[in-house]
Amino acid sequence: MKKQKINIQTAAFLTAALLGLMSPTNAQNLGISATGVAPDPSAGLDVNFTDRGVLIPRLTTAQRNAIPNPANSLLIYNTTTGCFEFWDGSAWRVLSAQCTGGCIPLSVGPAAGSHSSTQTSITWNWNAVSTATAYYVNTTNNFATATNIGNTTSYTQSGLSCGQNYTLYVWAQNGCSTSAASVFTFSTSSCVSNAPNVPPCGTQVFMAVNMDVGTMINGSAEQNNNNVVEKYCYNDLPANCTTYGGVVSVGGGGGRAV
Protein backbone atom coordinates (compact mmCIF):
# COMPACT_ATOMS: atom_id res chain seq x y z
CA MET A 1 0.00 0.00 0.00
CA LYS A 2 1.31 3.46 -0.89
CA LYS A 3 2.26 5.47 2.18
CA GLN A 4 0.86 9.01 2.49
CA LYS A 5 2.42 11.80 4.52
CA ILE A 6 0.24 13.65 7.02
CA ASN A 7 1.49 17.03 8.29
CA ILE A 8 1.34 18.08 11.93
CA GLN A 9 -1.66 20.39 11.49
CA THR A 10 -3.67 17.65 9.78
CA ALA A 11 -2.79 15.20 12.54
CA ALA A 12 -3.80 17.73 15.19
CA PHE A 13 -7.11 18.36 13.44
CA LEU A 14 -7.89 14.66 13.21
CA THR A 15 -6.96 14.22 16.85
CA ALA A 16 -9.31 17.04 17.80
CA ALA A 17 -12.06 15.37 15.87
CA LEU A 18 -11.50 12.10 17.70
CA LEU A 19 -11.58 13.92 21.04
CA GLY A 20 -14.98 15.35 20.28
CA LEU A 21 -14.04 18.91 19.38
CA MET A 22 -16.03 18.45 16.19
CA SER A 23 -19.76 18.33 16.68
CA PRO A 24 -21.23 14.92 15.99
CA THR A 25 -23.04 14.28 12.73
CA ASN A 26 -26.81 13.87 12.98
CA ALA A 27 -29.71 13.69 10.58
CA GLN A 28 -30.01 17.47 10.34
CA ASN A 29 -26.59 19.15 10.18
CA LEU A 30 -22.86 19.01 10.84
CA GLY A 31 -20.69 21.47 12.74
CA ILE A 32 -16.91 21.92 12.54
CA SER A 33 -15.25 24.16 15.12
CA ALA A 34 -12.28 24.37 17.47
CA THR A 35 -14.52 24.60 20.54
CA GLY A 36 -17.24 22.07 19.84
CA VAL A 37 -20.00 24.65 19.52
CA ALA A 38 -23.25 23.20 18.22
CA PRO A 39 -24.01 23.91 14.53
CA ASP A 40 -26.67 26.45 13.71
CA PRO A 41 -29.96 24.60 13.07
CA SER A 42 -30.45 26.44 9.76
CA ALA A 43 -27.17 25.14 8.29
CA GLY A 44 -26.47 21.73 6.84
CA LEU A 45 -22.78 22.42 7.45
CA ASP A 46 -21.58 25.05 9.96
CA VAL A 47 -17.84 25.80 9.91
CA ASN A 48 -17.27 27.96 12.98
CA PHE A 49 -13.82 29.54 13.40
CA THR A 50 -12.76 33.06 14.35
CA ASP A 51 -9.18 32.90 13.14
CA ARG A 52 -9.32 31.09 9.80
CA GLY A 53 -11.46 30.58 6.69
CA VAL A 54 -12.61 27.84 4.33
CA LEU A 55 -10.24 26.95 1.51
CA ILE A 56 -12.03 25.60 -1.55
CA PRO A 57 -10.31 23.73 -4.41
CA ARG A 58 -8.00 25.86 -6.58
CA LEU A 59 -7.90 24.89 -10.27
CA THR A 60 -6.62 26.38 -13.50
CA THR A 61 -9.09 26.89 -16.36
CA ALA A 62 -7.77 23.75 -18.05
CA GLN A 63 -8.16 21.71 -14.87
CA ARG A 64 -11.67 23.11 -14.36
CA ASN A 65 -12.70 22.21 -17.91
CA ALA A 66 -11.43 18.66 -17.35
CA ILE A 67 -13.92 18.02 -14.51
CA PRO A 68 -16.28 15.30 -15.80
CA ASN A 69 -20.00 16.03 -15.41
CA PRO A 70 -19.77 18.86 -12.84
CA ALA A 71 -22.70 19.01 -10.43
CA ASN A 72 -24.93 22.08 -10.27
CA SER A 73 -23.47 24.69 -7.88
CA LEU A 74 -20.01 23.06 -7.83
CA LEU A 75 -17.68 25.80 -6.56
CA ILE A 76 -14.00 26.37 -7.36
CA TYR A 77 -11.40 29.14 -7.34
CA ASN A 78 -9.94 29.62 -10.82
CA THR A 79 -6.23 30.40 -10.44
CA THR A 80 -5.96 31.36 -14.12
CA THR A 81 -8.48 34.20 -13.91
CA GLY A 82 -8.61 34.91 -10.19
CA CYS A 83 -12.34 34.20 -10.11
CA PHE A 84 -14.59 32.25 -7.80
CA GLU A 85 -16.74 30.21 -10.18
CA PHE A 86 -19.66 27.80 -9.96
CA TRP A 87 -21.30 25.44 -12.46
CA ASP A 88 -24.96 26.31 -13.16
CA GLY A 89 -25.77 23.20 -15.19
CA SER A 90 -24.78 24.62 -18.57
CA ALA A 91 -21.70 26.83 -18.02
CA TRP A 92 -19.23 28.11 -15.43
CA ARG A 93 -20.40 31.37 -13.83
CA VAL A 94 -18.38 33.96 -11.93
CA LEU A 95 -19.46 35.01 -8.45
CA SER A 96 -17.77 38.41 -8.34
CA ALA A 97 -18.35 41.52 -10.44
CA GLN A 98 -14.67 41.62 -11.41
CA CYS A 99 -11.90 39.06 -11.07
CA THR A 100 -8.41 39.70 -9.77
CA GLY A 101 -7.13 38.92 -13.27
CA GLY A 102 -8.60 42.27 -14.40
CA CYS A 103 -11.27 41.18 -16.90
CA ILE A 104 -14.97 41.78 -16.40
CA PRO A 105 -17.20 38.66 -16.27
CA LEU A 106 -19.82 38.28 -18.99
CA SER A 107 -23.37 38.20 -17.68
CA VAL A 108 -25.46 38.17 -20.87
CA GLY A 109 -24.95 36.63 -24.28
CA PRO A 110 -24.78 38.42 -27.65
CA ALA A 111 -27.79 40.20 -29.13
CA ALA A 112 -29.20 38.94 -32.42
CA GLY A 113 -28.13 40.61 -35.65
CA SER A 114 -29.72 40.33 -39.09
CA HIS A 115 -29.95 36.66 -40.07
CA SER A 116 -30.34 35.48 -43.68
CA SER A 117 -31.23 32.15 -45.29
CA THR A 118 -31.52 30.07 -48.41
CA GLN A 119 -33.63 26.97 -48.85
CA THR A 120 -30.89 24.81 -47.30
CA SER A 121 -28.87 27.13 -45.04
CA ILE A 122 -29.06 29.91 -42.45
CA THR A 123 -26.37 32.50 -41.81
CA TRP A 124 -26.68 33.58 -38.19
CA ASN A 125 -25.37 37.00 -37.19
CA TRP A 126 -25.07 38.69 -33.82
CA ASN A 127 -23.65 41.85 -32.28
CA ALA A 128 -20.18 41.70 -30.77
CA VAL A 129 -19.97 41.52 -26.97
CA SER A 130 -17.47 43.87 -25.38
CA THR A 131 -14.41 42.00 -23.97
CA ALA A 132 -15.51 38.69 -25.55
CA THR A 133 -12.63 36.74 -27.08
CA ALA A 134 -14.57 33.74 -28.42
CA TYR A 135 -18.07 32.57 -29.25
CA TYR A 136 -19.54 29.08 -28.93
CA VAL A 137 -22.55 27.75 -30.88
CA ASN A 138 -24.79 24.73 -30.54
CA THR A 139 -28.18 23.56 -31.78
CA THR A 140 -29.06 22.49 -28.21
CA ASN A 141 -28.73 24.37 -24.92
CA ASN A 142 -25.59 22.51 -23.87
CA PHE A 143 -22.35 24.44 -23.57
CA ALA A 144 -20.37 21.26 -22.88
CA THR A 145 -20.88 20.12 -26.50
CA ALA A 146 -20.82 23.59 -28.12
CA THR A 147 -18.41 24.47 -30.94
CA ASN A 148 -15.82 27.21 -30.50
CA ILE A 149 -15.93 29.38 -33.65
CA GLY A 150 -13.39 31.93 -32.43
CA ASN A 151 -13.86 35.67 -32.30
CA THR A 152 -16.34 35.90 -35.18
CA THR A 153 -19.92 37.15 -35.04
CA SER A 154 -21.34 35.05 -37.87
CA TYR A 155 -22.02 31.35 -38.34
CA THR A 156 -23.48 29.51 -41.36
CA GLN A 157 -25.52 26.38 -40.73
CA SER A 158 -26.03 24.27 -43.86
CA GLY A 159 -27.68 21.01 -44.91
CA LEU A 160 -31.11 22.18 -43.72
CA SER A 161 -34.61 21.61 -45.07
CA CYS A 162 -36.52 24.34 -46.85
CA GLY A 163 -39.35 26.18 -45.10
CA GLN A 164 -38.38 25.02 -41.59
CA ASN A 165 -37.73 26.91 -38.33
CA TYR A 166 -34.36 26.39 -36.63
CA THR A 167 -32.82 27.42 -33.30
CA LEU A 168 -29.22 28.28 -32.46
CA TYR A 169 -27.68 28.84 -29.00
CA VAL A 170 -24.72 31.23 -28.80
CA TRP A 171 -22.39 31.88 -25.83
CA ALA A 172 -19.78 34.64 -25.48
CA GLN A 173 -16.61 33.93 -23.55
CA ASN A 174 -13.56 35.80 -22.27
CA GLY A 175 -10.73 34.97 -19.90
CA CYS A 176 -13.01 35.35 -16.88
CA SER A 177 -16.26 33.67 -17.71
CA THR A 178 -18.84 32.36 -20.15
CA SER A 179 -22.09 34.25 -20.69
CA ALA A 180 -25.57 32.84 -20.51
CA ALA A 181 -26.77 31.42 -23.83
CA SER A 182 -28.50 33.66 -26.35
CA VAL A 183 -31.28 31.87 -28.22
CA PHE A 184 -31.82 32.72 -31.89
CA THR A 185 -34.62 31.40 -34.12
CA PHE A 186 -34.95 31.75 -37.88
CA SER A 187 -36.37 29.81 -40.83
CA THR A 188 -34.98 28.64 -44.14
CA SER A 189 -36.47 30.02 -47.33
CA SER A 190 -39.77 28.67 -48.62
CA CYS A 191 -39.74 25.57 -50.78
CA VAL A 192 -41.61 27.54 -53.48
CA SER A 193 -40.01 30.68 -54.85
CA ASN A 194 -41.36 33.48 -57.03
CA ALA A 195 -37.99 33.85 -58.70
CA PRO A 196 -37.26 32.19 -62.07
CA ASN A 197 -35.03 29.13 -62.28
CA VAL A 198 -36.15 27.85 -58.90
CA PRO A 199 -33.60 25.38 -57.45
CA PRO A 200 -34.78 21.96 -56.33
CA CYS A 201 -36.00 21.41 -52.77
CA GLY A 202 -34.95 17.91 -51.78
CA THR A 203 -36.09 15.62 -54.59
CA GLN A 204 -38.84 18.01 -55.79
CA VAL A 205 -38.58 20.72 -58.41
CA PHE A 206 -41.07 23.59 -58.48
CA MET A 207 -41.82 26.01 -61.30
CA ALA A 208 -41.64 29.66 -60.42
CA VAL A 209 -44.93 30.64 -62.12
CA ASN A 210 -47.66 29.15 -64.28
CA MET A 211 -46.77 29.64 -67.95
CA ASP A 212 -49.26 30.67 -70.60
CA VAL A 213 -47.81 29.63 -73.95
CA GLY A 214 -49.22 28.25 -77.17
CA THR A 215 -52.40 28.55 -79.17
CA MET A 216 -55.65 27.68 -77.42
CA ILE A 217 -57.80 24.92 -78.82
CA ASN A 218 -61.11 23.69 -77.49
CA GLY A 219 -61.04 20.98 -74.90
CA SER A 220 -63.06 18.69 -77.14
CA ALA A 221 -60.37 18.74 -79.83
CA GLU A 222 -57.20 16.66 -79.99
CA GLN A 223 -53.87 18.44 -80.01
CA ASN A 224 -52.20 18.00 -83.38
CA ASN A 225 -48.76 16.56 -84.02
CA ASN A 226 -47.78 19.50 -86.19
CA ASN A 227 -44.86 21.05 -84.32
CA VAL A 228 -47.19 23.84 -83.15
CA VAL A 229 -47.49 24.53 -79.43
CA GLU A 230 -51.16 24.13 -78.55
CA LYS A 231 -52.83 24.56 -75.20
CA TYR A 232 -56.09 23.88 -73.42
CA CYS A 233 -57.57 26.53 -71.13
CA TYR A 234 -59.86 25.63 -68.24
CA ASN A 235 -63.49 25.74 -69.40
CA ASP A 236 -62.17 26.88 -72.80
CA LEU A 237 -61.72 30.42 -71.47
CA PRO A 238 -58.49 32.23 -72.48
CA ALA A 239 -58.60 34.23 -69.23
CA ASN A 240 -58.13 31.00 -67.29
CA CYS A 241 -54.88 30.32 -69.15
CA THR A 242 -53.71 33.78 -68.09
CA THR A 243 -54.55 33.01 -64.46
CA TYR A 244 -53.70 29.32 -64.14
CA GLY A 245 -51.52 28.56 -67.14
CA GLY A 246 -52.30 26.26 -70.03
CA VAL A 247 -52.07 22.54 -70.61
CA VAL A 248 -49.76 22.22 -73.59
CA SER A 249 -47.88 19.73 -75.70
CA VAL A 250 -45.06 20.23 -78.13
CA GLY A 251 -45.52 18.22 -81.30
CA GLY A 252 -48.64 16.43 -80.05
CA GLY A 253 -48.96 13.75 -77.45
CA GLY A 254 -50.11 14.07 -73.85
CA GLY A 255 -50.33 17.61 -72.52
CA ARG A 256 -48.52 19.10 -69.56
CA ALA A 257 -49.71 21.90 -67.26
CA VAL A 258 -47.20 24.73 -67.68
Residues 155-172, mean pLDDT to the nearest whole number: 95
Residue 95 to residue 17: CA distance in whole angstroms? 32
Give the pLDDT of residue 201: 61
Decide if pLDDT at 211 tops 80: no
> What pLDDT does residue 254 have?
44
**Mean pLDDT calculated for residue range 5-9:** 51
Q: Tell me if the domain spanning 116-187 has CATH number 3.20.20.80.
A: no
* pLDDT at residue 103 in the model: 65
Identify the residue with better confidence: 183 or 202: 183
Taking residues 83-108, report their average pLDDT.
75
- Give per-residue pLDDT as tens, 217-258: 887 888 777 777 888 888 888 877 877 777 775 444 444 444
- Once rounded to an integer, what is the mean pLDDT over residues 69-92? 86
Q: Which residue has the higher pLDDT, 117 or 105?
A: 117
Question: Is the CA virtual torsion 210, 213, 216, 222 positive or negative?
Answer: negative
105 close to 113: Cβ distance less than 8 angstroms = no
CA distances, 228 to each of 74, 142, 219, 256 (Å): 80, 63, 16, 14
Distances (CA, A) of 95 to 7, 130, 166, 182: 32, 19, 33, 20
Alpha carbon of 67 to those of 28, 64, 118: distances in Å? 30, 6, 40
C-alpha R_g of the chain? 35
Res 9 pLDDT > 50: yes
**Cα–Cα distance between 29 and 45 in angstroms, integer?**
6
Give per-residue burial for 123-143: e unless 16+ CB within 10 Å, then b: bbbbeebeebeebbbbeeeeb
Q: Give whichever of 22-36, 66-80, 115-129 has the largest mean pLDDT.
A: 115-129
Is it the case that residue 197 has pLDDT exceeding 60?
A: no
pLDDT tens digits for range 10-66: 555 555 554 444 445 455 788 888 888 888 888 888 888 888 888 999 999 889 989
Task: Specify the pLDDT at position 240.
Answer: 79
Question: Tell me, what's the pLDDT at 257?
Answer: 42
pLDDT band at 127 (very low <50, low <70, confident <90, very high): very high
What's this model's pTM, rounded to 2 decimal places?
A: 0.47
Could you state, in order of their start, the residue ranges of all structural domains in the chain?
8-48, 58-94, 116-187, 215-257
| CA-based nearest residue to 234, from 216, 251, 221, 250 | 216
